[in-house]
Structure 1
Amino acid sequence: MIDFIIKACNYLIANIGFALTWLLELLPDSPFATPSAPPDSIDLGWLTWVIPFPTMFTHLAVMVAAIGIYYTIRVAARWIKIARN
């Protein structure tokens, strides 16, 4: 009787493992699995792996561009408002 319970538990655990594996395989690959760096970037070894400078510079450039566009639209909107009055 105890062998049946042990086999049933093992069967249940194995099937749960297969189901979880199947569900995890449905997910896409993680973009964070390998650090992405442009080919011409400075290679600082493990420091670039810990602190991803190329990615930080890319995000900083996008953020500065977005802020610049925001202020440009804001100034243009103020000019249009003044011109209409």
Structure 2
Amino acid sequence: MPAALASRTCEVRDLGAMRWGAAYALQAELVAQRQRGEISDQLLLVEHPHVVTMGRNGHASNVLASPEVLAATGIEYYETNRGG
């Protein structure tokens, strides 16, 4: 292993249960902090309540339940700029 990699650290954060939107916002902030060199690498451990995420390549037609049905059953729906 190259010496530069051997000396890197990674902080593990156990976030417990967290809504997807809050976790995504935290992840975006941590990415910005990491890019500025303010924090070391991060590993987030998190569990979300039921959620449907629609990535860049997804289509609403891929979800068989309407937004109203999802909301009525407590399932959150997010469109995201991530892959998928």
Normalized against structure 2, the TM-score is what?
A: 0.23
Q: Per residue, is there more helix in 1 or in 2?
A: 1
TM-score of the superposed pair, with normalisation by structure 1 = 0.23
Between structure 1 and structure 2, the one with the greater Rg is: 1
Which structure is higher in RCO with an 8 Å CA cutoff and minimum separation 6?
2
